[in-house]
């Protein structure tokens, strides 16, 4: 164990510097763009999956009252 009281701050600054240096890599930038696109695709599909049609009207599962608990309920995981 070191006696330097600022060692944690130095380690944190060093790690931040390493991570910022990684962001300059073109492969990392391309992967980040791909990750953003993929997350946007998943968010859109999740939003689309919540919509269903009743009598020609769009309804949302989360806004439809139900008397049983299912995975589509907003408070199911609480």
Determine, yes or no, domain membership for 54.
yes
Mean pLDDT for 60-78 is: 64
Determine, yes or no, domain membership for 32.
yes
Determine, yes or no, domain membership for 33.
yes
Mean pLDDT for 17-23 is: 90
Q: When comparing pLDDT for 44 and 50, which is higher?
A: 44
Residue 68: predicted pLDDT: 63
Q: When comparing pLDDT for 33 and 77, which is higher?
A: 33
Determine, yes or no, domain membership for 2.
no
Q: Which two tokens stand for residue 47?
A: 């939003």
Number of domains in the chain: 1
Mean pLDDT of the chain: 81
Determine, yes or no, domain membership for 57.
yes
Determine, yes or no, domain membership for 20.
no
Residue 78: predicted pLDDT: 57
Please tell me the distance from the alpha carbon of residue 41 to that of residue 33, in angstroms, as a whole number. 12
> HEC states along 36-64?
HHHHHHHHHHHHHHHEEEECCEEEEHHHC
Residue 59: predicted pLDDT: 80
Determine, yes or no, domain membership for 75.
no
Determine, yes or no, domain membership for 34.
yes
Q: Which residues contact 59 (CB under 8 A, 6 or more apart)?
A: 51, 52, 53
**Beta-carbon neighbour count of residue 29 at 10 Å?**
12
């Amino acid at each position: 164990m070191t006696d330097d009281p600022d060692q944690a701050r130095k380690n944190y600054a060093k790690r931040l510097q390493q991570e910022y240096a990684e962001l300059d890599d073109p492969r990392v930038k391309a992967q980040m763009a791909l990750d953003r696109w993929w997350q946007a695709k998943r968010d859109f599909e999740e939003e689309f999956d919540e919509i269903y049609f009743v009598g020609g009207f769009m309804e949302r599962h989360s806004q439809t009252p139900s008397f049983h608990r299912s995975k589509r309920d907003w408070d199911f995981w609480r």
